[in-house]
A = this chain, B = another copy of it.
Amino acid sequence: MTAKADASPARLTFGKKLRAARRAKDMTLEDLAEASGMNWSYISQVESGHRNIAVDNMWKLAQGLGVELKELL
């Protein structure tokens, strides 16, 4: 986990928009974890800006939500 204090604005924006998009689709963390093939607690940390997530995983989460990645930035 990387300190949120060092997080870029883009990391924080991605986390917030990911959470908002997930909730807008009434998906739980577990639902998105299953849809994206990732761990729900990792996703929670991404949403709160505590993970400097890499582009391939960003893409998997966007795919799991059924949205374009650029909509989450």
Contacts and interface: CB of A to CB of B under 8 A. Distances in A.
Stoichiometry, copies per complex: 2
Contacts of A59: 8-11
Nearest to A60: B8
A14 B58 CA distance: 12
A63 to B, nearest CB: 9
Could you tell me the dominant secondary structure of chain A's interface residues? helix
Interface residues of A, number: 19
A8 B55 CA distance: 8
Contacts of A55: 8, 10-11, 14, 52-55, 58
Interface of A: 6-11, 14, 52-56, 58-60, 62, 69-70, 73
